[in-house]
Amino acid sequence: MTGCFSFSEAIERTYKSGFKRSGLRPVTIDLKDGTVVNFWVSKNRPESKPNLLLIHGLGATAIWQWYDVARRLSPHFNLFIPDLVFFGGSSTTRPERSDIFQAQTLMRALEAQSVKRFSLVGLSYGGFVGYRMAAMFGDAVERVVICCAAVCVEEKDMRDGVFKVSDIDEASKILVPESVEKLRELMGYIFYKPSLPRMVPPCLLHDFIEHALTRDNVKEKRELIKAIPKDRIISEIPKLTQPTLIIWGEHDQVFPLEMGKRLEKHLGDNGRLVVIERTGHIFNFERPKTYLKLLKSFLLQTKQQIPVTNGAV
């Protein structure tokens, strides 16, 4: 019913106010090819601060996924926080659905803002995009953080039962839910404590679908998911040359920890895996202080600082 109070809309208004208090402002970049990208960016960009790109995953828009992180990192970085294409107000009339297209789009949008060098953090699907950016634009990307993104997934993994949901069509319906039932199912996969989804009233879940996830671009978002494993084999995945921190939840049921170990092995000396204990796929919500500590330690490293080491925290 129109005119009813929306809890999700109220939260988003709070988040937007918090972003503005943290020195961020919304901008829209029109790439003149049918593609438009919305960003939250630091109003002032002193050269003394490094640039940092935060790339969200599937689900709600960037402001929902980066609110806590952005407020705490804004004193240390010039922040660039986009909504990926098909999320928020970012859109395209072009047919591409690959992580390569998303990576190229973000790079063009950053160049339009005169950003030449930056580090990046990619969360879940954003990790696939961030990895591609680091591989394709190595001269621009300085440090890389990949969070719970199964970059080294292969197409055959879907057939071999590596994931809890092996059918890609079904997985896309769960990851981009349109019903309360599917959203509960998704929450059961992403949280460490599966009892949590059962405690949320259906009316709040419905409100979240309507106002935070939205029913916009559902088909396109599911196409993004289906494009990930298509024809993918590890031997053809480029190896990054930048220092790369890989962060994973110990009990991730979306992308199992084995995927993090596989990526660390693929990167060799350039990759370090840290596992956050007693967390699932959304450790950024479940252990935010630990997550922030890892990000700051790695991204603000100087040559004199001790690097983040392998292990669990």
Alpha carbon 233 to its chain centroid, in Å, reads 22
Residue 163: its pLDDT value, please? 86
Round to whole Å and give the CA distance between 199 and 90.
33
Q: State pTM to two decimals.
A: 0.94
DSSP 48: T
Task: Give me the tens of pLDDT residue by residue for the chain, a chain 313 residues long.
Answer: 445 789 999 999 999 999 999 999 999 999 999 999 999 999 999 999 999 999 999 999 999 999 999 999 999 999 999 999 999 989 999 999 999 999 999 999 999 999 999 999 999 999 999 999 999 999 999 999 999 999 999 989 988 878 888 789 999 999 999 999 999 999 999 999 877 777 889 999 999 999 999 889 999 999 999 999 988 999 999 999 999 999 999 999 999 999 999 999 999 999 999 999 999 999 999 999 999 999 999 999 754 344 455 677 8
CATH of 7-300, one of 3.40.50.150, 3.30.830.10, 3.40.50.1820, 1.10.1660.10: 3.40.50.1820
* Residue 259 · residue 295 · CB < 8 Å: no
Q: Is 197 exposed, middle or buried (0-12, 13-18, 19+ CB in 10 A)?
A: middle
Round to whole Å and give the CA distance between 131 and 134.
5
Residue 242: its pLDDT value, please? 97
Domain ranges of the chain: 7-300
- Candidates 282, 278, 281, 311; CA nearest to 297 is 311
- Candidates 78, 47, 41; CA nearest to 63 is 41
Q: Is 246 helix (H, G, I), strand (E, B) or coil?
A: strand
Residue 213: its pLDDT value, please? 92
Residue 302: its pLDDT value, please? 57
